[in-house]
Amino acid sequence: MNVILLVCFRGEGEVICMVTRKDLIIAILSTFCLTSTLFMIVPTRSQTTYPYDPWEDLNDDGKIDLYDAVMLLNKYGTKGTPINKTALLLNLQQRVEALETRTPKKGYVSISPAAFTPQSNTQTYYKYSSYLRGQGSFNTGVQLPNGATLIKMTVLLIDGSNNGRVEVLLMGFNITERYPLTIPMASVATTDLGQPGEVLLYDDTIADAVVDNKNCEYALYAWFTRDDISLYIQSVVLEYEYPQ
């Protein structure tokens, strides 16, 4: 049996250890295996994915990267008064809501020609969903939002007649005190002096413009001087504003 002498130092003395060649080989192999195993273990850590935070995106490019880190590094060591971000956002929201309150909102009411009825059952007329022609007066009630302010009446019509014309009026009546509002509240009309063809007429000077559904009712009147195939109404639109 081959014996190998190993000199081991302990304290101030020395100790002579004897091991066999077989024991030494086993010890070396065991050490090698243990060392290899330790090196084969790959260090790992928890792979936590943090959500994007716009407050940490310093250059507002939609991603947090090295550029944001450089910007933060350039500010390292500076001091100042911190901002209460929650209070800042609340203040901005209140200011936006106040601005929206002061900004009037627009709305529209469309009246189809099919809604008009003739004033007399002896009148000659033709009407469809987007077409009304005839002779004499036609009318229809109008439902408007209470408290709104009327700002424009627009009428799309065709006048290809040389000797006929059409007029559209917005009317109102106070049902509580029994008197008509300004006559008319708004109006548009063509003339007998030519052929304007398809025209879009409007009146943006509305009288008694604030809608009062508690005390008043509203209606549209259309008046044709003659029944002419080249003279008809296509649509009426009332535009209004109301506070938020």
Classified as helix, coil or strand, 171 is: strand
pLDDT of residue 15: 47
pLDDT of residue 166: 93
pLDDT of residue 194: 64
Q: How far apart are CA 159 and CA 140, in angstroms?
A: 21
Of 124, 185, 127, 187, which Cα lies nearest the Cα of 154? 187
Task: Count CB neighbours of 132 within 10 A.
Answer: 26
Cβ neighbours of residue 75 under 8 Å, at least 6 residues apart? Answer: none
Please list the pLDDT of the chain residue by residue as tens digits (244 residues): 554 444 454 555 554 455 455 554 555 555 555 555 555 555 555 566 778 888 788 788 888 888 878 887 887 888 888 877 788 788 888 877 776 666 668 899 999 999 999 999 889 999 988 899 999 999 999 999 999 999 999 999 999 888 889 999 999 999 999 999 999 999 999 987 766 788 899 999 999 999 999 999 999 999 999 999 999 999 999 999 987 6
Task: Count CB neighbours of 184 within 10 A.
Answer: 20
For CA atoms 116, 120, 125, 126, the dihedral sign is positive
pLDDT of residue 156: 95
Partners of 149 in the beta sheet? 210, 241
Phi, psi angles (nearest 5°) of residue 141: -75, 155
DSSP 109: E
Instruction: Kindly report the length of the chain.
Output: 244
Phi, psi angles (nearest 5°) of residue 130: -135, 40
